[in-house]
Structure 1
Amino acid sequence: MSLDECHLVTLPRVNDARGNLTFIEGGRHVGFDIQRVYYLYDVPGGAERGGHAHRELEQLFIAMSGSFDIVLDDGNLRQRFSLNRSYVGLYVPRMVWREIDNFSSGSVCMVLASQPYDEADYFREYGDFRDAVRQRPAAPASVPLGRAA
């Protein structure tokens, strides 16, 4: 996979004077069936999360409250994304290393995942991830899933 497949997804917004509403449908707003949802919160100042990649898992990261940065690395390039809107998600495909940092006070990071938790799906060491990327044959370009306007 490459960073070209990572992209921001603008989710639907229903604006109302009483408060806004955003909804997410698997297969429609994200290109996968949602099998797991988890969220990070009460992250201490200066702390980092992530620091791993997945063999098969696809994810959509959303800043439900506050803000944070996600640094993505495909083994060749690194790119930083800042999330701070509850109606914008960041799609991260399989085989992309991620690090999450720069959490604002009170931030909540919600993650939609394509599969249930499976420890065997993780690359926990960056060197192992880089080795796996180097061993993979080049794949033909594909259209990223989950793009929404």
Structure 2
Amino acid sequence: MNKSPFTELINIPKIEDRRGNLSVIENDIIPFEIKRVYYLYDVPSGAERGGHAHKEQLEFLIALSGSFDVILNDGNEQKKITLNRPNVGLLISTGIWRELQNFSSGSVCLVLASAVFEEEDYIRDFNEFVSFKNGIS
């Protein structure tokens, strides 16, 4: 496990078998009840996803196939994490700006979220995000 103020890399149990590996995410792996699951795929070369932060929602990202970079910003510091293994996920806490980029060909990003979609929970403007982090309304 790798912790930072932004995130936590969490190893997902892997059951190895000569016929292929199996990984399972159960309630004890991530610290929230899963309310929504979605995935990104067929992302064109050079395209970016994300570009937002959440006020309340937690997310757990996994590179099921291929690789991509997750650029994280807490309002003061920026960090890049490359996801490229299907048995390691990235837990992103609330109030963290995220951008996904450098998708390899055929990559698939699985996202497990702690809440259903609510537009009010999203901060989609970086300057608004910085104001939110500094407690400015």
> Which TM-score bucket, shorter chain as reference?
over 0.9
Aligned-residue CA RMSD in angstroms? 1.0
Equivalences for residues 109-148 of structure 1 within 5 A:
109-135=109-135
Distance in 2 between the 1:63 and 1:133 partners? Answer: 28
Partner residue in 2 for 1:7:
8
Partner residue in 2 for 1:86:
86
- Superposed CA offset, 1:48-69 (max 9, x none): 0000000000000000000000
Shift of 1:135: 0.9
- TM-score (ref. length: structure 2): 0.95
Matched, 1:34 2:34: yes
Name the SS for the 1:4 alignment partner. coil
Distance in 2 between the 1:51 and 1:9 partners? Answer: 23
Identity %: 50
Distance in 2 between the 1:117 and 1:22 partners? Answer: 26
Bigger proportion of residues as strand: 2
Q: How many residues of Structure 1 are paired with residues of Structure 2 in the alignment?
A: 133
Q: Which runs of structure 1 show a deviation greater than 3 angstroms over 4 or more consecutive aligned residues?
A: none
Distance in 2 between the 1:59 and 1:135 partners? Answer: 22
Q: Note if contact 2:6-2:74 (Cα within 8 Å) is conserved in structure 1.
A: no
Name the SS for the 1:69 alignment partner. strand
- TM-score (ref. length: structure 1): 0.87
Partner residue in 2 for 1:44:
44
Gaps of 5+ in 1: 137-149
Matched, 1:16 2:17: yes
